[in-house]
Amino acid sequence: MQAAGSANHRRLLIFLTASVLILAAVLGRGVWNRAHAVAPKVAAAPIAATLGTAAEVMLPIYALGIGNVEANYSVTVHVRVNGQLETVAYREGQDVRQGDVLAQIDPLPYRAAYQAAVAQTARDQATYENALVDLKRYTTLSETDSIAQQTLDTQKATVAQLKATVDLDRAQADAAKVNLDYTTIRSPISGRTGLRLVDPGNIVQTTDATGLVVINQIDPISVVFTLPEETFEMVNRAIREAQPKPLTVEAHARTDNSLLGSGQLLLMNNQIDTSTGTVQLKATFANPQHKLWPGEYVNAHIITSVRKVVVVDSAAIQRGQNGLYIWTVDASDTAQMQPVTVEINQDGKTVVAGVAAGTRVVVDGQYRLRPGAKVIATQAAPPKPVSAG
């Protein structure tokens, strides 16, 4: 009986121990399941990005050069006779027309010389006319042999000599008149005066190196610029194809690239500078508002053609392992990568192939995107209008 009781006791102990282990296993599994429960999926938040729009525009294709503005004409006004400068008739910085009076030299000595030459001419003219009367009389007498032939010949020579004297007097009178006219100094060109280099009261001479004033013609005005040799063929071909119409050249400010003026190409120099690998060109510009100024450096754009193209902001172009691409955003605001072919990049715009006009593209915030991501636009950035020159 005692042995049977011990066996029952052991079976009960084993059962209780197994029950405790099973219960512990069940409770542990529940705790593990709660600890490792899968959270429900939450939709990703939209990614903020700056959007632009691919636009179809008429884009001027140009070659870019660095140029210097030059006066169409620049003249240093010198005196042509010596004397005392009496008056200055212009203001510094004044616009003058060709023929306007600029200054006056004391004319008295030159007027006296001219009057003396005129008087000398009149006196010799009277002597000449009297000799002509004598010659006519001698000729009549010679026909009746009433005068020696030598006397007639001598009178003919006297008349010729007096005629030459009168001609000389007239030339001297003309020269004196020219010198008198030179005492009034007139503008040789239309343009703008610079600083006054000589004040009234000074004695001026034809040998003075500085002159009285420098006049620059600034309307119209010229721009001389250079292009790299690599662009020569393109520009030269455009010149030939555009004839007889000249190519358009735009002058832009070096600081902010703002348009200062639009002009016409005058010439391409007749040789390439082998020392610099550049070719020199010259264009002329109407300059009524004087936006272009002699000595100013500008960016010169010579427009070789105008094409209808699709452009995007250059900031939209990205480079990946497979080449260039852009991020596009469809009607459901979903981002996708689109490979592109870049043709031209100028003025912050890039000409692309394979993109339809009106497509929304990401121009900022691309680094956070992935295909299929939702996009929220932070700013609309339509392309700037492109001038066709």
- The answer to the question of residue 246 being in a domain is yes
- What Rg do the C-alpha atoms of the chain give, in angstroms? 48
Same domain, 294 and 313: no
Strands of 30-71 (E only): list them.
47-53, 55-71
Q: For residue 247, what pLDDT is reported?
A: 93
Same domain, 89 and 146: yes
Same domain, 163 and 110: yes
pLDDT digits (tens, 9 = 90+) for 275-321: 999 999 999 999 999 999 999 999 999 998 888 888 898 888 999 88
For the residues 259-287, what does the mean pLDDT come to? 94
Q: For residue 49, what pLDDT is reported?
A: 87
Q: What are phi and psi of 274, to 5 degrees?
A: -70, -20
Same domain, 149 and 172: yes
Distance CA 371, CA 351 (A): 24
- The answer to the question of residue 95 being in a domain is yes
Question: Looking at 307, 342, 358, which one is the last position of a domain?
Answer: 307
Question: Looking at 256, 286, 307, which one is the last position of a domain?
Answer: 307
Q: For residue 261, what pLDDT is reported?
A: 94
- The answer to the question of residue 31 being in a domain is no
Give the chain's mean pLDDT: 86
| The pLDDT of residue 384 is above 80 | no
Same domain, 144 and 258: no
Contact criterion met (CB below 8 Å) for 223 and 283: yes
- Please report, for the domain that includes residue 223, its CATH number: 2.40.30.170
> In the chain, how many domains are there?
3
Same domain, 98 and 148: yes
3-state helix, strand, coil in the chain (%, to 5): 30, 40, 30
pLDDT digits (tens, 9 = 90+) for 67-119: 999 999 999 999 999 999 999 999 999 999 999 999 999 999 999 999 999 99
Same domain, 119 and 200: yes
Q: For residue 155, what pLDDT is reported?
A: 82
Question: Looking at 214, 245, 265, which one is the last position of a domain?
Answer: 214
Look-up: residue for tokens 């209808």? 308
Q: For residue 387, what pLDDT is reported?
A: 46
- Please report, for the domain that includes residue 130, its CATH number: 2.40.50.100
- The answer to the question of residue 18 being in a domain is no
Same domain, 133 and 200: yes
For the residues 318-330, what does the mean pLDDT come to? 88
Same domain, 85 and 210: yes
Where is mean pLDDT largest: 177-181, 324-328, 375-379?
177-181
Show the tokens assigned to 124. 């010799």
Q: For residue 7, what pLDDT is reported?
A: 58
| The pLDDT of residue 146 is above 80 | no
Least confident of 31-40, 247-256, 330-339, 345-354: 31-40
Same domain, 195 and 220: no
Same domain, 133 and 196: yes
Domain that holds residue 265: 62-72+216-307
For the residues 25-45, what does the mean pLDDT come to? 55
Same domain, 146 and 240: no
